[in-house]
Structure 1
């Protein structure tokens, strides 16, 4: 980027990206040998711009190069669709994975909770449907292809949230197979839904000092060891210490079952290995799951993740990583400015003032006039 771009709203938005680290990764993966125009850095900047502006295709990106601000940012005035397509397929997803994790690390530092409090991490997945004729490498049913994004989301006390770890697999991969990768921090409390129920892993988590709360399946076999007292005025229906599973597949450790009602008034049983907090707190922690559902909805609606710019696995992975990076960059600006504005509003202002000086964009957060 040129010096003028650095002063713009776009320059401010991409400011947290460590381009020196990207260059090291590019050299390590031997990505830009003999590349004269569309370097990996330029590719990332163009793709992030395209995510912000919801460009539908590589042809739309090619046409966008008529924009003088984008020309100054990328360092060239034109690019062909074939060059874009080739780069999109060639960039190693490991480079974008590294960038995403670096931004997630910055967010973790900024939202560091008090030492006396466990950080809350929510785990879930979303399946991205793909056309079988164009994405045969991702086949998971006779008539469908699909890719699955398994995600870990950090949930803060103020309701803000951001992704900090991901796994991408074919859509046929079962959710619970990713738990060992996504559950790795003894200082965190994990939340996941009944698709992740695995008694052996629950035993292992307990042995290793990893804490969780999960919705239990309706057909779970429970052996009540003790009825736990409920506080007066509690909204919880029952609180029990139990062993789970049949005689052949019973847990070694004692678990806690908290019974509550869901938003439709139906009973819902939550399993956890924490006995040190109230049943109401367990219920409240589990209900924070709504955040990851909102995240998946937001990212599908407001960045380019439904329609892909390329049909190779590399192209699909890269586009998903760029969507996650787009989200993290926006949360970083929101956190830095301590803005109460929504991410959608921040993004709308960014696209409207993308080549103006950053101060115009940032002043919008404060509802003050720009001199």
Structure 2
């Protein structure tokens, strides 16, 4: 990127990517060994631009290169859809995974500075992305369907903001429970997940290793009550008890805490946890935060492009999902750097409107409207 581009809003947005480290990884993989035009860096920048603008096809991405400002950062004036397709199928997903994890580490450092003593709340879930059976036979999981599954660990930040921390992509027929131990790999955190991850042996191991969790228990789960705790009369908690999980033939070795409450529709929710140091209402609130990952998946599917893909190979699909996650993390880093009060969607709208303008204009708009929101003044956007 030239000097002018570095000072543009787009240049500032992507500036947190460690391009020197990226270049070293590219050299190790040999991706640019015989490349004269579409280098791995140009590919990354072009496809980030495509995600930001939700380009619908490779042809649309190629047509976007007619933009002279985009040409300056790419180093070429035209590209064909076939060239884009070849590169998209050649780039090793591990290259993009390294960028994603590096951005996650930067976000984590920001959060540790602002909340040094807080135990992270991490939400685990998955979403299935359906694919055409005709074009994606390698991802078949039903007689008439294909698809991939994105297993995700999401960190719940202050004020309900979130960021993805770890991602695993598998065929859609992979059971969620098989990825639980992959996504739970740190002790200093509180994990929240739904009943699809219930596994009594794993729960016992979590208890023994001091890994905190809260999960919804299945309706037909067998429990044996050891002790019942008193619940305040005005509490939304219906019951709070210490239990063993499972039948006499196959029962947990450790005791867990079972909390019964109701959701916003009045449906019964049974929450199992190994936290005995928190109020039952706090546990209920922690579990309800799991909804944040559903909203995150909804955001991804609505505001970046992961519902349809630019390529039909497994590599192309994985690359596109990683670039979507990188797009999200780059916006989170801007939000943290500017202390923005606006949503990521609003930040991205302003970014697209001021893409090639000096980045100060983008930041000034963010800060101006953040101050208005802090004062309680309605923000006209």
Shift of 1:159: 1.1
Does residue 1:100 correspond to 2:87, yes or no?
Answer: no
| Partner in structure 2 of residue 308 of structure 1 | 309
| 1:141-165 residue CA offsets vs partner (Å, 9 max, x unmatched) | 1110000000000001221110010
1:201 is paired with a residue whose SS is: helix
Tell me the residue number matched to 2:43: 43
Corresponding residue of 2:54: 54
Deviation at 1:232, TM superposition (A): 5.1
What 5-or-longer segments of structure 1 have no aligned partner?
A: none
Q: Aligned partners of 2:117, 2:108: CA distance in 1, in Å? A: 16
Q: CA deviation at 1:233?
A: 2.9
Mapped partners of 2:236, 2:116: distance in 1 = 29
Cα 1:6–1:114 change in 2 (3 A) is closer
Q: Which runs of 5+ in 2 are unaligned?
A: 370-381
Partner SS state of residue 315, structure 1: helix
Aligned to 1:69: 69
| Structure 2 residue 4 is the aligned partner of structure 1 residue 4 | yes
Distance 2:358 2:116 in 1: 39
Please state how far the C-alpha of 1:3 moved relative to its aligned partner: 1.3
In the alignment, which residue of structure 1 is the partner of 2:15?
15
Q: CA deviation at 1:114?
A: 4.3
> Are 1:237 and 2:238 an aligned pair?
yes
Indicate the SS of the match to 1:35.
coil
Aligned counterparts, 1:82-101, within 5 A: 82-101=82-101
SS at match of 1:260: strand
- Secondary structure at the residue paired with 1:179? helix
Farther off after superposition, 291-300 or 116-125: 116-125
Residue aligning to 2:374: none
Distance in 2 (alpha carbons) for counterparts of 1:231 and 1:277: 15
TM-score by length of 1: 0.98
- State the shift of 1:116 in Å: 4.0
* Alpha-carbon separation, structure 2, partners of 1:282 and 1:295: 22
Deviation at 1:366, TM superposition (A): 2.1
CA shift for structure 1 position 280: 0.6
Aligned pairs (5 A) from 1:187-206: 187-206=188-207
Once residues 30 and 366 of structure 2 are traced to their aligned partners in structure 1, the CA distance between those partners, rounded to angstroms, is 41
Map 1:1-371 onto structure 2 (within 5 A).
1-112=1-112, 114=115, 116-231=117-232, 233-367=234-368
* SS of residue in 2 equivalent to 1:233: coil
**After superposition, what is the alpha-carbon deviation per residue over 1:117-168, rounded to whole angstroms, capped at 9, x for unaligned?**
3110000000000001100110101110000000000001221110010110
Helix, strand or coil for the counterpart of 1:187? Answer: coil
Post-superposition Cα deviations, 1:235-283, rounded to whole Å, max 9, x if no partner, equal: 2110000000011210000000000001110111000011011101100
